Amino acid sequence: MNRQEFTDSYRQWYRPVLIYACTLTGDRAAAEDLVQSAFLKALLSYWGDRGELRFWLMRVLRNEWISHCRKNAPLVPDELPEVPGGVEPLAALLETEGQRRVYSALETLPLRYRDVLLQSTLLGLSDGEIACIHSITEENVRQIRARARKRLKEKLKEGEP
């Protein structure tokens, strides 16, 4: 991969990957560190025969997150820092109230549901790629995504005025 291809991929995927990382860490600064590390490692270890860069990047990002959690050095602080105006770090990324509502509902989902749903919708990974990341079957990916969507719809209905 040449420099221009990497730059284009970085510009295209930075924001969606950052949003996903924020759902893992709960802290924008930690998420940015995780994303930078994942992009660097993905670039150093990516060969074209591994499929699309976004798939490889998600695999590296998830493995980085798991490694940090296993080392008992979680990226999530005990308390999130206050942001001016009292807005949570990820909420500052999201621009509209509708997006904030969806994010709040998304936060209530179990981690595996969130992962599969975000990897599918936000990052556009295929069922096969998601299955490979999580070491599960494609059928299991479809079941998890369907359950996640159902729960998300229920949570959004609960929040309606």
**pLDDT for residue 81:** 44
Span 109-125, pLDDT tens digits: 898 898 898 888 888 88
- C-beta separation of 25 from 90 below 8 A: no
Mean pLDDT of all residues belonging to the chain: 78
Q: Where are the alpha helices (DSSP H) in 46-88?
A: 53-70
d(CA 35, CA 22): 10
Q: Enumerate the domain spans of the chain.
A: 1-92, 94-161
Average pLDDT of span 8-30: 84
pTM score, whole prediction: 0.56
Give domain 94-161's CATH architecture: Orthogonal Bundle (1.10)
Average pLDDT of span 78-96: 51
Out of 25-29, 31-35, 42-46, least confident range: 42-46
Name, in order, each residue with C-beta under 8 angstroms of 60's C-beta and a sequence gap of 6 or more: 38, 41, 42, 45
Q: Which of 12, 1, 74 is nearest to 42 (CA)?
A: 1
